[in-house]
Amino acid sequence: MPSLLTVTDLFPWVTLGIALLIGVIVGAERETARSHAAIGLRDIVLTAAMGWISGRLEEPLIGIAVMLGLVALMIVHRPRADTHIGVTTEFAVISVFLLTYVLGTTREASIVVLIVALSIALALLLDAKSAVKRLFKEVITDKEVADTIRFLAIIFIILPLLPDGRFGPYEFFAPRTLWVAVILVTSVSFVGYFLEKFLGPRLGTWLMAVLGGMVSTTVMTQTFAKQAAVNPARLTIAWQAATLANSIQFPRMLILLLITAPGLAQMTIAALLPAFIAGLIMSALIGRGRTSEEATQPALRNPLRLWPALQFAVFMAGVSITGAVLYDLLGTGGLFLTSAIGAILDVDAITLNAADRVSAGVMDLKIGQVILVIAVGANMIVKLVLSATSGSRGFFFRMLLSFSVMFAAAALGLLL
């Protein structure tokens, strides 16, 4: 189609054909939607033709007059039977007129392609009436709709209003950065809620663990710890999911190292790969030991859970000021300690920093390897703290076992 649109002589004919096709597609959908439809296929095709002609005349007043005439006709001939409710067809007619009017006025091939896409989307929306009704009346609850609106407000209203920059002693308070952490935590619980609802507790939780593990294993650990605390019946499945999510951390680190510092990646693969495999095996063994009740019982609550996210942001702020104070006291000589503190929140940042230093030749490979080991260890410690504070004692000891197995596999890999 773009090649035809570039031929000047054929351009009007192509747009006319597209306009009539839009009328046919939307008209056929409306014709079959109701057996006694007052506005059918021929009416909407004629509307498309009038829209295109009005656009070609390039007289806005004519276009406005024709559209007002269409609206008046639909009002006059609108059935007054009690069974006729809604104005979907009337809005569809107006949409077809506006789309074809733009087709008649435009000389840009990109606009034509956009009009075609909008027309197809319009036809799909009209055809999905029963599915949309069932979705919002039978599947999605009022609470879920309300929480979805609040979730969008957290992202698109509150975040832009927060000031950018760092404030307070040692500039530890970064409102926008902390709110991004709140968004991240709420996103994990929000998406996980709907994954469990539509895919089931087992598959939904696994998928959330894998996807969340690619973003932040710390957030995932805190999320599953909270699940185990709120619903003790989900202790085993939360433990399995948290173990699976944390195992994703090791191939994620390895990929970053392969891209930024292949030498350091080659040196640490002996630790990262066994830790990843041990985490997967541990997760599979936990799944085998789960009872049928735990596997089938959903723990669906409110989709939006803001309080745990705010707690996590406060925890981040506390770690930030602690790290800043220690760095100020120790100076640049406290490289290992500051790396450990930085990894409490983000192992990837320490991984990339170490890889950059190794690649630049300012850091030895062995020192880089030690920094990575310290970073992973510190990150595991903070996850255990979150497991104890956000979760339960049982979840804490189970995660301690999982981390011990993964860390022991990494240590054994390095020794061998």
User: How do residues 160-175 score in pLDDT, each as one tens digit?
Assistant: 888 888 788 767 677 8
pLDDT, position 274: 92
Taking residue 304's Cβ as centre, other Cβ atoms within 10 Å add up to 19
pLDDT above 50 (res 82): no
Query: Which residues share a beta bridge with 167?
Result: 173
DSSP H helices, 34-59, are 41-57
Asked if the model's pLDDT at residue 84 lies above 60, the reply is: no
Predicted pLDDT of residue 292: 43
What DSSP state is assigned to residue 200? -
Which of the residue ranges 254-268, 287-301, 306-320, 337-351 would you say has the lowest mean pLDDT?
Answer: 287-301
Range with the largest mean pLDDT of 3-17, 33-47, 285-299, 311-325: 33-47
pLDDT of residue 109: 84
CA pair distance 246, 283, nearest whole angstrom: 10
Q: The tokens of 166 are what?
A: 């760092």
Residue 123 has pLDDT above 80, yes or no: yes
Residue 81 reports pLDDT greater than 50? no
Report the predicted TM-score, pTM, of the whole model to 2 decimal places: 0.58
Helix and strand totals (H; E) in the chain: 21, 0
Helix (H) or strand (E) holding 1: none
Give the per-residue pLDDT at 20: 92
Share of the chain above pLDDT 70, in %: 76
With cut-offs at 50, 70 and 90, classify the pLDDT of residue 5.
Answer: low
